[in-house]
Structure formats: C-alpha cells, structure tokens
Amino acid sequence: MRQLFVLAVFAGTCALPAAHAEHTANPITGYVAFMNNYIGRGLAQSVGQPSVQAELDYNNTSTGFYAGVDGTSINWIDQLYPGDSVSLEVDGYAGYRWLAGDWTFKSGLLRMQFPGRYVPQTPPVDEPNTTEAFGFIGWRGLSAKLNYAVTDSFGTPDSKGSWYLDLSAAEPVGENWTLGAHLGRKQSRGTNPVTGLENTRFSYTDYKLSISRAFSGNLSLTLAWTWTNANPAFYTLNGYDVGGHHFAITLERDF
C-alpha cells in the first residue's frame, strides 16, 4: 500500500513561497519559512499540521553553477505507517543557470531524501527517495519547469519516467504586493509488476492562487488556496483528503 500514497509526495519544487528577496553580494543565501500546512505539488504533505522549512543556496542570482539544500518537516509517512519514524524531507539540487536579459534558463538534478526509520512491510516496499532531472525557463513573471524521474518515483514500482510540470505566473501589484497563479500536472508512468495496474491512475492536475506581502527586514507573508483533481481513493489519509482544497499561510524570513 505504500506505493499508493508515496507517489503523491513531493518534493522539491513546488510549494515554496512566492518570492524571495534578491541578494547580490553574498553567494550563500537562504530562508526560513513557517507554514500552517505544507503543500507540495498540490498535496498536503504535513497532513494539515504546521511545518517548518529552511533552505541554503549557493549562487542564487547569477549565471553559472548553482546548488542548494533544503529541509522540510512532514507528517504523512508516520500517519500512513504507524511505527515508521520519518518526519523530514531533505532535498539537494545542483545545476547550471543562464541569464539573458529578462530570460532565465536552468537545468540540473534534484535528489529528494526521506531519512528516518522504516518498519518492514509485507509485501516489501521501497523507500520513497527519488532523483529527478529538471529544466526551467522563465521570462519576467512567467515560468515553466519540468521534473523528470530518473529513478522510481517515490517508491512506486516501475515508475521511472514519471514527470511533474509546473506553470507559474507572478504579477507585482503596487510596491509590496504580488499576485500568483500556478498550474501543475503530475503524470505517472509504468505498470505495477505485482498487480498489473497502470500507475497512470495516480496522475492528477493541481492549481494554486496566492497573494504575497513583503515587509521590512526581508519578511514576507503568503496566503494561498490550493486544490487538485487527484482521486481521493488514492490520496486520503486517515480521513484527510491531501489533494483537496487547502488554505495555506507561509511566513518567510530571507537572509
């Protein structure tokens, strides 16, 4: 049963706050964010509970090699499998960035790791650790990013080649406000070798509308409304629809 839900979890890229302050002098930048509910790729990975996220980046704004690591508290694994003790997602990424006027191009690799203690399951299942290749193109406030799984995706058997597409838009309103919109698509690939069922049944589309307010001291507050068309039969945990309608609040401090 683990593979029915682990396909849903993210990571990497999707649910970060809408905007970060720009830095030019220090090649090491980062942020800390506090959330009432961690939404990743449209899914509530903290299962309605508060979450904290921290990230460090190297070369966040210039052309050339860049890399980073972030950690986020999660709750879905422990709730899905009592006895497991896995409350953290750690993502590491590295790639190359090209800047050309208003255009930004990026490519690289993302590794999503879920460290902790796992209880053996019957039948045996893999841990959800996943590696993805990604490409990104951005123009002003518009962007498109494609993540492609080069390993099995979140422990789901025969799921290499699954992908996630993120289309986003951000529009400044006045001096300190930003409106945001997001459309995402999770497309699962492969066939379960035990059941013979197609992994495509886990595919879904997700949506987000947001508004952000920047404050002095590199503080920002983001309010977001998210929802998906994910099948609740696969994305419900202890009565909580992780792919349903969710209101998310994020307080972020950049440094």
Structural domain spans, the chain: 2-254
How confident is the model at residue 25, as a pLDDT? 61
Q: What is the pLDDT of residues 227-250, one digit of tens each?
A: 999 999 999 999 999 999 999 999
> How many other C-beta atoms lie within 10 A of the C-beta of residue 218?
14
What homologous superfamily is domain 2-254 in, according to CATH? monomeric porin ompg (2.40.160.40)
How confident is the model at residue 36, as a pLDDT? 98
Outline where DSSP puts E strands in the chain.
Answer: 28-35, 39-40, 43-44, 51-58, 64-73, 88-100, 103-113, 130-139, 142-149, 163-173, 177-187, 204-215, 219-228, 236-237, 240-241, 246-254
Cis bond before residue 124 (omega within 30° of 0): no
How confident is the model at residue 246, as a pLDDT? 98
Q: What is the pLDDT of residues 95-119, one digit of tens each?
A: 999 999 999 999 999 999 999 999 9
pLDDT tens for the chain, 255 residues long, are 444 444 444 333 343 444 444 444 679 999 999 999 999 999 999 999 999 999 999 997 889 999 999 999 999 988 888 888 999 999 999 999 999 999 999 999 999 999 999 998 777 878 999 999 999 999 999 999 999 999 999 989 999 999 999 999 999 998 999 999 999 999 999 999 988 999 999 999 999 999 999 999 999 999 999 999 999 999 999 999 999 999 999 999 999
Residue 4: in which H helix or E strand, if any? helix 2-6
